């Protein structure tokens, strides 16, 4: 009888300790979640307070003004915002199809002995520091673009009415187009790795059944693999877009850092991140510094809007998949 009483007491004690441990674990994880929100709120508050003098001084004109002159203290965010959006768009236009092809080859067509080495080499691209990309872009990619790619674009697409405006001017090598090429290379491993992983989650029986019905490889990809994994594919694209919007050093090396908007992609430009990297340490005067912080706030807002819209689209895709 005494032994049963002892066992009962031990069980109740273990239950109390287990309940205490669960409560402590829940409290700890909640604290971590709240900490993230506090840090985010602190970042937003610091950006808003730092940008307030410039926004109050220039008002809405800060967003639609191209001028950036520290001497006369006339600042506008239009050129950096334009450069950020255009270079990111170029990176996505180049990077998404290439990443899709890489992921598709690795999961559907690649021999087994080559899959792992090829996957590792692609992922190693993500481990290269951005400043190395910038140096390589400045001394290798930019001269190649100047000598081979830009003259070909000028001679062909430059003569086409309308779209020719994007490819006019002298081949400088340094400019918005080269920055877009660099960003495309940098986002490639992120997008392709995510696409590869989600393609591998497609049940093999689906593909085998489709092949058994006489479908070709392209039909299996477009009618089975891609519809099944479209949510993950879109998530990988968003990951690459976030990297492209915020990339700093690599773009700074090759974009030319000119606060001007040109119709031609061959001309120098700037991005928000490049402007901050180049001028933050040299900012003299409260208005100059506040204008740079305002650029950071705009980049934060752009990223937030893009991710929010993407999240809404993901929710819609998930609902469609569930229905």
- CA dihedral (211, 217, 223, 229) in degrees, to 10, reads 110
The pLDDT, as a whole number, for residue 95 is: 92
**What's the Cα-to-Cα distance from 159 to each of 43, 44, 100, 116, 167, rounded to whole Å?**
47, 46, 31, 45, 9
Mean pLDDT, the chain cut into blocks of 10 residues (323 residues total): 54 59 84 93 92 91 89 90 94 93 87 86 86 93 93 88 87 92 92 88 81 80 82 84 87 91 91 90 86 92 84 74 59
Q: At what angle do helices 230-246 and 176-200 cross, to 10 degrees?
A: 150
Q: Is 36 inside any structural domain?
A: no
Q: Is 120 inside any structural domain?
A: yes
Q: Is 265 inside any structural domain?
A: yes
User: What is the CATH classification number for the domain harbouring 236?
Assistant: 1.10.3720.10
Q: Is 38 inside any structural domain?
A: no
The pLDDT, as a whole number, for residue 322 is: 62
Specify the pairing of strand 74-75 against strand 68-69: antiparallel
Among candidates 220, 223, 225, which has minimal Cα distance to 103?
Answer: 225
CB contact at 8 A, 195 and 232:
yes
Q: Is 45 inside any structural domain?
A: no
Q: Is 4 inside any structural domain?
A: no
The pLDDT, as a whole number, for residue 272 is: 93
Which residues in 198-209 are b (16+ Cβ under 10 Å) and which e? bbeebeeeebee
Residue 257 CB contacts under 8 Å (≥ 6 apart), including other chains? 268, 270, 274, 275, 278
The pLDDT, as a whole number, for residue 5 is: 54
Residue 261 CB contacts under 8 Å (≥ 6 apart), including other chains? 66, 78, 79, 82, 269
Q: What is the pTM of this model?
A: 0.86
Question: What total of structural domains would you count in the chain?
Answer: 1
State how far the Cα of 77 lies from the Cα of 31, in Å rounded to an integer. 38
Residue 153 CB contacts under 8 Å (≥ 6 apart), including other chains? 167, 266
Q: Is 299 inside any structural domain?
A: yes
Residue 234 belongs to domain spanning: 61-322
Q: Is 301 inside any structural domain?
A: yes
């Amino acid at each position: 009888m005494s032994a049963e009483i002892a066992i009962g007491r031990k069980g109740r004690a273990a239950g109390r300790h287990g309940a205490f441990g669960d409560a402590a674990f829940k409290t700890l994880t909640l604290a971590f979640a709240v900490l993230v929100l506090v840090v985010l709120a602190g970042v937003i508050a610091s950006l808003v307070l730092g940008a307030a003098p410039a926004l109050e001084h220039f008002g809405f004109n800060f967003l639609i003004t191209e001028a950036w002159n520290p001497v006369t203290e006339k600042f506008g965010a239009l050129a950096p915002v334009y450069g950020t959006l255009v270079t990111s768009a170029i990176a996505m236009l180049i990077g998404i199809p290439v990443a899709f092809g890489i992921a598709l080859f690795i999961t559907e067509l690649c021999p087994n002995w080559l899959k792992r080495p090829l996957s590792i080499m692609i992922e190693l691209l993500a481990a290269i520091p951005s400043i190395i990309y910038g140096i390589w872009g400045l001394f290798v990619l930019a001269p190649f673009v100047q000598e081979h790619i830009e003259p070909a674009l000028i001679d062909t697409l430059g003569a086409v009415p309308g779209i020719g405006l994007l490819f006019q001017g002298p081949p400088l090598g340094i400019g918005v187009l080269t920055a877009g090429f660099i960003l495309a290379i940098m986002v490639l491993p992120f997008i392709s790795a995510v696409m590869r992983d989600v393609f591998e989650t497609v049940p093999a029986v689906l593909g085998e059944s489709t092949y058994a019905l006489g479908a070709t490889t392209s039909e299996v990809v477009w009618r089975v693999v891609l519809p099944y994994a479209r949510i993950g594919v879109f998530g990988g694209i968003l990951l690459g877009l976030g990297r492209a919007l915020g990339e700093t050093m690599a773009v700074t090396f090759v974009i030319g850092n000119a606060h001007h908007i040109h119709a031609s992609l061959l001309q120098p430009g700037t991005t928000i991140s490049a402007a901050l990297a180049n001028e933050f340490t040299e900012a003299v005067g409260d208005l100059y510094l506040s204008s740079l912080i305002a650029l950071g706030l705009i980049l934060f807002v752009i990223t937030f809007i893009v991710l929010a819209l993407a999240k809404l689209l993901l929710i819609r895709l998930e609902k469609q998949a569930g229905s």
